[in-house]
Structure formats: structure tokens, C-alpha cells
């Protein structure tokens, strides 16, 4: 593991990377985590701009963002920012020994036929509330959500501990424990969680963008992948703010500077969102 809305003034200290001319765009409301990343960005010489709403002002230039999916969907394309995320069906395609449960990616219309309890969620946003449903009849109806929307349907398993890993260029660069026995419990990243993350990346790293957040947990005494989240939309808990910011900046940066290996992982826009990619 690696060690480590107004314009910010740029405090003293060498930036970890070349941030000349970079601007980090932030949404109207900030979590404590986002405020810490904002302050870290300013210290490193980035400008920061916090918008009052989801409208891009005329003449605004920004190179990066840190926000939820709805804000990113409204502002990224007009500003030429490319938010990276895992494919919608990424979890469903992983080996069973990395998941410790069955996960399927299928249209919501098919999930309605479930006749057993299952954990159901949207892959990369909150269109479908992530929770255990008694059966498919409890899912939002077609009047609320497009039946073609892809959802992840998972066996319900208990996780005794859950950790968040910030991944940059195929390595775990920082991370944090965030839950124990289903309750919020931020704390230091465990060495065994980081080691499991490194094993996952060695086996499946090419199936993820160069900057991503990976959540892992222990279930029935074994480590398993919980999910992959967009770094630009994730809370850091106790992760190192500088290293988390490195990952955030890569995960939502200028489309013009996008590496070829990351182009398949740019978040789709509009009607394509949530679709399984070829």
C-alpha cells in the first residue's frame, strides 16, 4: 500500500502532483468528508468552486469534481469532465470465491419475479434503494423506475467488518474501516483488508478503471468484495485525505486527458445510464 463555492487560496506546501490550473468542482451541500477534501485541495494549490445548484454558470471552467451522481450527471459533460466508474455488471462477473455469494445483474422487469428475499441495488447510483427486499413485489414499480434499468440482485449475507479501499493505478493507496456488524464504525484500514484488496486487483484489476473505490468485508470468517464505487462520489471515512484526493482527481478529470485504458469506464449519460456495457 502506498504511503503517504469560492476559489481556494492555495496554502504553502508542494502539491503531490502538478495541479497548475486545476479546479475542483463541488455540489451545493458538502459532507464532512467532502469538506476535508476541499481543504486538502486548497492546501495543495487547486482552486475549488462550490455551486449553489446543479446549473453550470456561463464561463465556468473546472477540471475535476467530487459530488454525488446526480450532480455529476448535470455538470460533467458541459465541462468536459469524464467521471469513471465500474461497469454496471462488474460484480456479477466476478469469481464466486471473491464474492462469497451469488450476484446477478438483470433488468428491473426480471427482478419483479423474485420470490425470495434478496439484496437489491443500483450498480452506480441510487435509482433503486440499496436494501434487502422480501421479494420482487417490494421493488419500485414501473411507474417510478424504467423497467429496463439494470439492478444487482444478491444473496443476503452478514458482514462482520467492512473496509473502504482507495485504488489508484492498480494499487491500494489508502483506506479505512467504515462499519462493524452493520453499524458505522470508522477506523484504521486493517492489513488483512488491504492484502485482500491487493489480491483482488492482481486478479481483476484490468476490469476496473485506474481510479476507483473498492469496498471489502469479512463474512463467515472470509474476505469478500462488497462493491466498487466511484471515487469521485465516495466518502473517505478515516482514509488519508491527500491519497484519497489523488484518487478522486484521477477518477473525474478532463476528458481530453483521459488515458485509453479508462475510456470504457466513463459514466454513460442520459438513457444509457445503468445499461450493461458490451
pLDDT tens string 85-96: 999 999 999 999
What are 116-157's pLDDT values in tens digits?
999 999 998 888 999 999 999 999 999 999 999 999 999 999
What letter does residue 44 receive in the DSSP assignment? T
Mean predicted confidence (pLDDT) in 56-84: 97
The pLDDT value recorded for residue 223 is 98
Q: Are 78 and 42 in contact (CB under 8 A)?
A: no
Enter the pTM of the model.
0.89
What are 173-188's pLDDT values in tens digits?
999 999 999 999 999 9
Q: Find, among 165, 49, 149, 52, the residue nearest to 105 by Cα.
A: 149
The pLDDT value recorded for residue 269 is 81
Mean predicted confidence (pLDDT) in 10-27: 62
For 51, counting Cβ atoms within 10 Å of its Cβ (0-12 exposed, 13-18 middle, 19+ buried), the class is buried
Amino acid at each position: 500500500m502506498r504511503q503517504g463555492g469560492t476559489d481556494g487560496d492555495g496554502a504553502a506546501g508542494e502539491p503531490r502532483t502538478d495541479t497548475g490550473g486545476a479546479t475542483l468542482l463541488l455540489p451545493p451541500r458538502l459532507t464532512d468528508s467532502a469538506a476535508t477534501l476541499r481543504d486538502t485541495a486548497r492546501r495543495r494549490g487547486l482552486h475549488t468552486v462550490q455551486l449553489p445548484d446543479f446549473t453550470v454558470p456561463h464561463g465556468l471552467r473546472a477540471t475535476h469534481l467530487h459530488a454525488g451522481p446526480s450532480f455529476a450527471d448535470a455538470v460533467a459533460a458541459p465541462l468536459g469532465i469524464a467521471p469513471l466508474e465500474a461497469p454496471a455488471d462488474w460484480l456479477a462477473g466476478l469469481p464466486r470465491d471473491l464474492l462469497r455469494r451469488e450476484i446477478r445483474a438483470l433488468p428491473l422487469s426480471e427482478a419483479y419475479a423474485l420470490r425470495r428475499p434478496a439484496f437489491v441495488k443500483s450498480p452506480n447510483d441510487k435509482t433503486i434503494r440499496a436494501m434487502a427486499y422480501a421479494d420482487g413485489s417490494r421493488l419500485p414499480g414501473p411507474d417510478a423506475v424504467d423497467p429496463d434499468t439494470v439492478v444487482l440482485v444478491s444473496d443476503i449475507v452478514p458482514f462482520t467488518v467492512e473496509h473502504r479501499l482507495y485504488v489508484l493505478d492498480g494499487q491500494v493507496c489508502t483506506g479505512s474501516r467504515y462499519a462493524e456488524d452493520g453499524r458505522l464504525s470508522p477506523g484504521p484500514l486493517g492489513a488483512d483488508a488491504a492484502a485482500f484488496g491487493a489480491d483482488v486487483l492482481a486478479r481483476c484489476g484490468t476490469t476496473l478503471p485506474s481510479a476507483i473505490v473498492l469496498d471489502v468485508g469479512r463474512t463467515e470468517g472470509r474476505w469478500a468484495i462488497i462493491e466498487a464505487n466511484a471515487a469521485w462520489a465516495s466518502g473517505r471515512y478515516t482514509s488519508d485525505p491527500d491519497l484519497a484526493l489523488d484518487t478522486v482527481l484521477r477518477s473525474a478529470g478532463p476528458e481530453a486527458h483521459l488515458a485509453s485504458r479508462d475510456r470504457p469506464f466513463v459514466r454513460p449519460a442520459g438513457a444509457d445510464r445503468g445499461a450493461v456495457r458490451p
